[in-house]
Amino acid sequence: MDRDANPAQQAPAGNGPAQVKISNLNKTFHRGKEAVHVLRDISLEIAQGELLVLLGPSGCGKTTLLRCLVGLEKPGQGRVELGDTTVVDADARVFVQPNKRDVAMVFQNYALWPHMKVAANVAYPLKARKMKDELKNGRVHEVLQVVQCDHLADRYPPELSGGQQQRISLARALAPRPALLLLDEPLSNLDALLRIELRAQLRLLHRELGFTGVYVTHDQEEALALGTRVAVMKEGQFEQIGPPAEVYSFPATEYVADFLGARNRLELHTEGDGRATVAGVPLEGFVRPGLGGRFALRLRDADPVLRVAGTPGDEDRHWITGAELIEVLPAGDHAEHVVRLGDQTLFVDVPATRGVFEPGAKVDIGLATDSVLCYDADGRLVRDWAAI
């Protein structure tokens, strides 16, 4: 598939030259008679200094793509170029072994050698590259400082916390200054607070060092916080690639919208003359005339508002009547309200400052068109669907 054929295959966002060029990559695993086509004709360029985040559900092929880049998997078809070097060319039977690629990888489970001190762990890839002792020791000290673990140089990994071990593992990967750094869910073994702290440190490190990286996660917050671009994967292909703000604000497909938190779905029917019903409720002045057919509306939990049925509410909103509040789950600064509308269940976050509605209450749901996403029957984003 060439790049023009699929809007998800885009040129890199950075200004630098392409550091990584992946062309028509395919990977199939064979288990007995069963063949699983895990990467489906993937093409992508990553610019120098970019941190591309691969985001997608379990099993969509994120780790397999990383493993193809580092050389732990051999793709059946396609090419991978790192800088000026072709490391994979299936047609020409080119396959450069992992230790000959200028690529480092950080794993979810740290993968440090428990019998080696921290400094020796970090020095290991430098030793493998036959770096002189003096240079090597300087570099080890430098990267340990970068990850704020200089004081741990003489400890053994089992004597460290998870967060410290992951910092060391990052230092080891950064030490040889690889052309490409791969990070496979590096924070997912850590508790929530530490994840947020390390995420911030990683972002700072990326800004300071400007390394080129590919970061795998299935956590949308992590993806949006870290990525210079985010690539959302579905079944071995890219569904959308773009800067985080764009992917978040304009998810190209319903699949991406769902994955990025717009989990509430309402059906919209329009007549083409401006008349419309949402979940069977007529709404005036909601869609623009000229838009006709069946659509799906997608909303994030924080977007709709609730009012007790029939009471006054924000007049700028469009109100859907006939809903019932099923359950309320307090969550500190807001409460998650579970609302039933016909056969649909919606989740609405109500700020604690607006009070709590009582379960069993009849409620109306207020929509603001600028926060509602609209998708056509093929699941593609429709822009400019709302009445002005």
Binding stretches for ligand ATP (CB under 6 A): 29, 31, 36, 38, 56, 58-64, 218
Q: Which is nearer to ligand ATP, 71 or 157 (CB)?
A: 71
Q: Closest CB to ligand ATP among 68 and 363? A: 68
* SS3 call for 160: coil
Closest to ligand ATP by CB, 31 or 132 = 31
**How far apart are CB 62 and ligand ATP at their closest, in Å?**
4
CB of 120 to ligand ATP, least distance (A): 29
- Residues 172 and 186: their CA atoms lie apart, in Å, by 13
Residue nearer to ligand ATP on the CB measure, 185 or 303: 185
The residue with tokens 């795998």 is: 216
Token pair, residue 366, equals: 């207020």
Give the nearest distance from C-beta 28 to ligand ATP in angstroms: 9
Q: Could you give the strand order of the β-sheet that contains 305-308, starting from the edge strand earlier in sequence?
A: 305-308, 362-367, 318-331, 334-341, 344-351
Query: DSSP letters of 279-344?
Result: TTEEETT-B-TT-EEEEEEEE-TTS-EEEETTS---TTSEEEEEEEEEEEEEETTEEEEEEEETTE
Q: Give dist(CA 281, CA 367) in Å, integer.
A: 13
Residue closer to ligand ATP (CB basis): 185 or 364: 185
Min dist CB 63 to ligand ATP, Å, is 3
Q: Least separation, in Å, of the C-beta of 38 and ligand ATP?
A: 4
Min dist. Cβ of residue 242 to ligand ATP (A): 20
CA 240, CA 57: separation in Å to the nearest integer? 14
Backbone dihedral angles phi then psi of residue 209, each to the nearest 5 degrees: -90, -25
Structure-token pair, residue 31: 């288990």
Q: Which is nearer to ligand ATP, 184 or 364 (CB)?
A: 184
